[in-house]
């Protein structure tokens, strides 16, 4: 018997138009290279939506050995796998565990961009989402964080619907709009229909000015070797350290911290470069790196992971130069969807991007007690945050407010908005939040005692 731990199994029958689909969802730990499931996962990559084929077992294994082993993460992956009656893998999602105030909660694993979601065979998307949703709903989990994922995904929609149909509590922790450009088939058509002649000439003017005022070299890295990867990571880190990221409270570097450098070095060398999925453009000005654009390509999609510039060259609008090269090369290679991520829509609109979807992160509680407390606890957090924001701007809150429960809260508790004084709302919501924390501590202690008894054979 293989040493994997099968935590739980749930068998679900689906009756579509013609044939019966019997799917089984399992929670599995300790996936290793060479394991039969690893091989099945590689096969599944060929049956998912083409833009998701980048997410193989290596992606998550490397993440788990770097980011997943630091900070709040436990370094232990858990897979929710969905197989058919013949044992063929039809879908999965990858989880790990985070510690918050000493409490362990399950959370989607993997790098946060492009996103974390459900991998599903195209012929079983809805069924896979429903199977995973039912497994989580019946698992009586205290708390689980899912995402970020694209809201439009068929598997995701089925997953959320399944959770709600089983009375699991679902609240949106964060939501961002996703900017995507669907390009024409040729670069000439893109220049004419999307960029327009005026904007295209303007970007060229910035590049020519930069060439006049210094020695400019633009390097395109595709399929880099290990030596080139090391230099690339060094260049990206150098640029970030001379960018606005270092002076802004909102700034978060991608390539400066040692754990991030290990993650990207291994991912590029072992996975992305051999599969021709990594492209980077770097501008060197007078011998030093000053601007970059890094992308992942999983045809017909290209993900813009990061672009940044040294503040000393801001006047040259280097991002426009790199975007132009990135888009032109992508179209020639067969890219038809450019995923620019979230935020900065006004600039991205110039490159044909529109908000076409949302990327959400959810908190889910399926335990009978936490499923009732979670919406209130999260409302407490949001309300207190808004109150602090109001104070920071010198605003004066009304003596009474009307809490507006979201659809889940209203349907779960059958409540309607009522007028309460501020102290009453604050006290009741904080009490609910504290109750949730105490409950989690209690369950954790009980689980530890049960584990000790099992270990002692009692």
Q: What is the average pLDDT across 148-164?
A: 92
58's tokens = 């290596």
Domain that holds residue 406: 370-456
Tell whether 226 is covered by a domain.
yes
Over residues 334-356, the pLDDT tens digits come to 999 999 988 778 889 999 999 98
DSSP strand pairing (301-309 vs 337-342): parallel
Q: What is the pLDDT of residue 308?
A: 96
Tell whether 340 is covered by a domain.
no
Same domain membership, residue 27 and residue 127: yes
Non-local CB neighbours of 354 within 8 Å, separated by 6+ positions: 179, 180, 181
Q: What is the pLDDT of residue 450?
A: 57
Same domain membership, residue 48 and residue 108: yes
Residue 50, pLDDT > 80, answer yes
- The count of structural domains within the chain is 3
Same domain membership, residue 209 and residue 293: yes
CB 300 within 8 A of CB 50: yes
The band of 377, judged by pLDDT with boundaries at 50, 70 and 90, is: low
Using a 10 angstrom Cβ sphere, with 0-12 exposed, 13-18 middle and 19 or more buried, the burial of residue 419 is exposed
Same domain membership, residue 153 and residue 46: yes
What percentage of the chain exceeds 90 in pLDDT?
54
* Cβ count within 10 A of residue 196: 12
Tell whether 440 is covered by a domain.
yes
State how far the Cα of 167 lies from the Cα of 294, in Å rounded to an integer.
Answer: 42
Same domain membership, residue 287 and residue 159: no
Over residues 193-237, the pLDDT tens digits come to 999 888 889 989 999 999 999 999 999 999 999 999 999 999 999
The band of 398, judged by pLDDT with boundaries at 50, 70 and 90, is: very low
The mean of the pLDDT values for the chain is 82
According to DSSP, the residues that pair with 209 across neighbouring strands are none
Runs of H (alpha helix) within 176-250: 187-190, 197-213, 226-241
Same domain membership, residue 196 and residue 160: no
Tell whether 347 is covered by a domain.
no
The band of 416, judged by pLDDT with boundaries at 50, 70 and 90, is: very low
CATH code, domain carrying 76: 3.40.630.30
Q: What is the pLDDT of residue 437?
A: 55
Tell whether 349 is covered by a domain.
no
Residue 170, pLDDT > 60, answer yes
* Entry pTM: 0.79
Q: What is the average pLDDT across 30-58?
A: 87
Same domain membership, residue 259 and residue 213: yes
Task: Identify which has the larger pLDDT, 303 or 13.
Answer: 303
Same domain membership, residue 191 and residue 331: yes
CB 45 within 8 A of CB 53: yes
Ramachandran angles phi, psi of 275, nearest 5°: -95, 5
Tell whether 40 is covered by a domain.
yes
Residue 238, pLDDT > 80, answer yes
Residue 125, pLDDT > 70, answer yes
Tell whether 346 is covered by a domain.
no
76's tokens = 């232990």
Q: What sign has the CA pseudo-torsion 68, 72, 76, 80?
A: negative
Tell whether 350 is covered by a domain.
no
Same domain membership, residue 92 and residue 212: no
Residue 323, pLDDT > 60, answer yes
Same domain membership, residue 161 and residue 84: yes
Write the Ramachandran bin of 147: left for phi over 0, alpha for psi from -120 to 50, otherwise beta. left
The band of 420, judged by pLDDT with boundaries at 50, 70 and 90, is: very low
| Closest by Cα among 153, 10, 5 to 77 | 5
Same domain membership, residue 144 and residue 193: no
Q: What is the pLDDT of residue 402?
A: 37
State how far the Cα of 170 lies from the Cα of 154, in Å rounded to an integer.
Answer: 18
Over residues 309-320, the pLDDT tens digits come to 999 999 999 999
Transcribe 181-200 into DSSP letters: EE--SSHHHHIIIII-HHHH
| Closest by Cα among 145, 162, 160, 147 to 10 | 162
Task: Identify which has the larger pLDDT, 137 or 416.
Answer: 137
Same domain membership, residue 129 and residue 32: yes
* Cβ count within 10 A of residue 150: 21
């Amino acid at each position: 018997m293989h040493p994997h731990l099968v935590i739980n199994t749930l068998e679900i029958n689906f009756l579509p138009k013609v044939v019966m689909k019997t799917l089984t969802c399992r929670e599995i730990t300790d996936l290793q290279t060479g394991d039969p499931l690893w091989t099945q996962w590689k096969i599944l990559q060929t049956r998912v939506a083409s833009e998701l084929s980048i997410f193989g077992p290596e992606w998550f294994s490397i993440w788990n050995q770097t980011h997943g082993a630091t900070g709040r993460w436990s370094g232990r992956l858990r897979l929710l796998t969905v197989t058919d009656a013949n044992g063929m893998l039809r879908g999965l999602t990858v989880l790990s565990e985070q510690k918050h105030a000493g409490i362990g909660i399950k959370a989607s694993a993997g790098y946060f961009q492009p996103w974390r979601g459900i991998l599903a065979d195209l012929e079983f998307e809805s069924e896979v989402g429903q199977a995973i949703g039912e497994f989580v709903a019946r698992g009586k989990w205290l708390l689980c964080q899912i995402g970020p994922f694209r809201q439009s995904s068929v598997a995701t929609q089925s997953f959320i619907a399944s959770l709600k149909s089983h009375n699991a509590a679902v609240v949106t922790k964060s939501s961002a709009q996703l900017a995507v450009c669907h390009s024409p088939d040729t670069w000439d058509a893109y220049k004419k229909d999307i960029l327009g002649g005026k904007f295209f000439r303007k970007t060229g003017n910035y590049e020519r000015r930069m060439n006049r005022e210094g020695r400019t070299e633009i390097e395109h890295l595709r399929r880099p070797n290990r030596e080139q990867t090391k230099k690339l990571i060094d260049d990206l880190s150098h640029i970030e350290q001379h960018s606005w990221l270092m002076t802004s409270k909102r700034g978060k570097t991608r390539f400066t911290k040692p754990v991030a450098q290990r993650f990207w070095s291994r991912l590029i060398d072992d996975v992305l470069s051999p599969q021709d999925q990594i492209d980077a453009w770097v501008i060197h000005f007078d011998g030093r790196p000053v601007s970059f654009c890094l992308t992942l390509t999983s045809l017909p999609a290209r993900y813009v992971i990061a672009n940044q510039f040294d503040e000393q060259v801001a006047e040259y609008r280097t991002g426009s130069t790199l975007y132009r090269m990135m888009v032109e090369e992508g179209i020639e290679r067969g890219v038809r969807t450019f995923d620019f991520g979230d935020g900065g829509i006004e600039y991205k609109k110039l490159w044909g991007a529109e908000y076409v979807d949302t990327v959400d992160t959810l908190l889910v509680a399926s335990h009978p007690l936490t499923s009732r407390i979670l919406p209130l606890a999260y409302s407490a957090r949001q309300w207190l945050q808004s109150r602090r924001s109001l104070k920071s701007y010198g605003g004066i809150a009304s003596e009474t407010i009307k809490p507006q429960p979201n659809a889940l809260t209203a349907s779960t508790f059958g409540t309607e908005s009522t007028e309460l004084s501020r102290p009453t709302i604050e006290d009741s919501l904080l009490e609910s939040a504290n109750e949730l924390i105490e409950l989690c501590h209690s369950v954790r202690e009980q689980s530890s005692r049960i584990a000790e008894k099992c270990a002692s054979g009692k």
